[in-house]
Amino acid sequence: MRFVFDTDTGIRMAIMRTVHVCEVCGIEMDVVSRTQQGPMSTETYQCAAHPTARFRDAAHMIPDPCMVDPSRDYGWAGSRSTGDKKPTIQRANYNGNKALITDETVDQIPQCDVVYLVGAGPSLKKNAAALKEVTSGIVIALNAAINYAQADYFLAIDYAFTNVPAERAKKCDAILATSVNPALAALPWKRRLWMTSGVKAEPQTDIAEAHPKLWRFFEGLNCTFAAMQLIAQQIKPKRIVLVGMDCCFTDGEHHPGEPIAYGGGLHVVSTRDNRPALSCEILDWQGKYLAAQCEMLAEHNIEVINATEGGALPKVLTITLAADAKLADMVADNNKRLTQAI
C-alpha cells in the first residue's frame, strides 16, 4: 500500500492498494496458493476463466473517510465489476426501488460523540447484550448484525442481502443504497434514508443525476467501508466503538452460530492476543482495509476502540497446523470441498 496526496493542498486523500488483474478479461485474479517462508509469504494468482493468462498490477484507492471528494472517481468499479453481473443487478434493483426512493437522506442523522459500529462477526453473540445497556450515542448495525443486536440504524449497500425479519425492521431506521435488493428496501422500516454510490460507473452516474440530493459514498471492500465514510463525514463523533468486526474466526463460525461459508482456501493466523484463528484471502484484505480506515480516522482525532472479542485486526502469523488439530481439520475439510466443487 502507498499513500496518495492532493497535489494542491498536500492533504492525504487515500491509500492505494495493489491488486492483480487478468490481462485478458480485466478481472481481479484469485490467489490459488500461498507459500510461507519465515515471516514472508509468496502468493500465486490465477484467473478462473483464463488460467494461463499473465496478470498485470493494478490499484484500488481507499479514500480517507474524512477527505472524500465527491467530484473524484476513486476507481473502485474498474476491475471488480468488469465482466460480472453486478452492474446489471444494481440496475434491476434500482428500478425495483424507484417507488420507494426519496430525497430523505443521511443528512438527517444527528451528530453525536460516540458511534457503535456493529458487524455480524461470530464474536457478536458474546457482546451483543452489552449494546442493550447503551444509553447515549448511536448504534449502527451492518447487514446481518441487525438480527443479533439492538440498533438505532441499519445500514446496507449489498445488492443481494435480504435476511432481515419484518419484526426487526420495524424497530429501526434503514440507511439504504439505492441499489439494495428491493425485498430489503420494502420491509416496514421506521424510516428509510437513502444514499447512492459516488463511483462514476453504470448505473451510478444517472442515479446521481436523478437524485442529486442523496448522500454519495464510495464503494469499498464491504459495508464497513461505506459506514466509516458516513460516520466520519456526517455524524462526526469523537469515538467509534467496533463491535463484531471479526476479520478472522477463532471458533469456525461466520455469523454467530453459523458455520464458515466463505469460498477460497482457509489458512491459520493469530489474533492480537496470540490465539490461533482461521482466515482467508477476502478476510485478510478486510483486516487491512479496516486498519487503514482506523489509522485515517485517528489522524482526524476520531478515536477507534476495538471492542471485538477475537481480534478485528488479526496478526498475520502462520501457526503450525499440527499445533491445533481442530483448525487443521477445518482447513483440510474446506480445501477438500473446494477441490470437489472445482
Q: What is the mean pLDDT of each run of 10 residues along the chain (342 residues)?
A: 79 79 78 65 78 81 82 56 64 91 91 95 84 88 92 93 93 94 96 86 72 83 88 95 87 75 70 77 81 89 85 61 71 70 54
**Domain span holding position 322:** 2-341
**What pLDDT was estimated at residue 228?**
94
Question: 233 by DSSP, 3-state: which?
Answer: helix
**Residue located via cell numbers 430489503:** 184
Which contacts of 78-81 are long-range, i.e. CB under 8 A and separated by 24 or more positions? 78/26, 79/19, 79/21, 79/26, 79/27, 79/28, 80/27, 80/28, 81/201
> What grid cell was written down for 305?
476502540
Longest dimension (CA), the chain: 58
Whichever domain contains 142, its CATH number is 3.90.1480
**What pLDDT was estimated at residue 78?**
43
* Distance from C-alpha of 112 to C-alpha of 47, rounded to nearest angstrom: 46
Cβ-proximal residues to 219 (8 Å cutoff; 6+ apart), any chain: 76, 77, 157, 197, 199, 225, 226
Residue from 174, 149, 150 nearest 162 by CA:
174
Distances, alpha carbon 244 to alpha carbons 129, 224, 291, 312, in Å = 12, 11, 15, 8
Give 41-70 as a DSSP string: EEEEEE-SS-TT--EEEEEEEEE-TTS--T
Residue from 198, 11, 203 nearest 92 by CA:
203
Tens-place pLDDT, residues 201-230: 666 677 777 888 888 888 777 889 899 999
**What pLDDT was estimated at residue 5?**
83
Rg (CA), the chain: 20
The strand pair at 55-63 and 12-22 is best described as antiparallel
Q: How many domains does the chain have?
A: 1
Residue from 125, 191, 181 nearest 153 by CA:
191
**What pLDDT was estimated at residue 60?**
75
**What pLDDT was estimated at residue 82?**
47
Residue 59 and residue 28 in contact, taking contact as beta carbons nearer than 8 Å: no
Q: What residues pair up with 216 in beta bridges, in sequence order?
A: 196
In whole angstroms, what separates CA 139 from the centre of its chain? 17
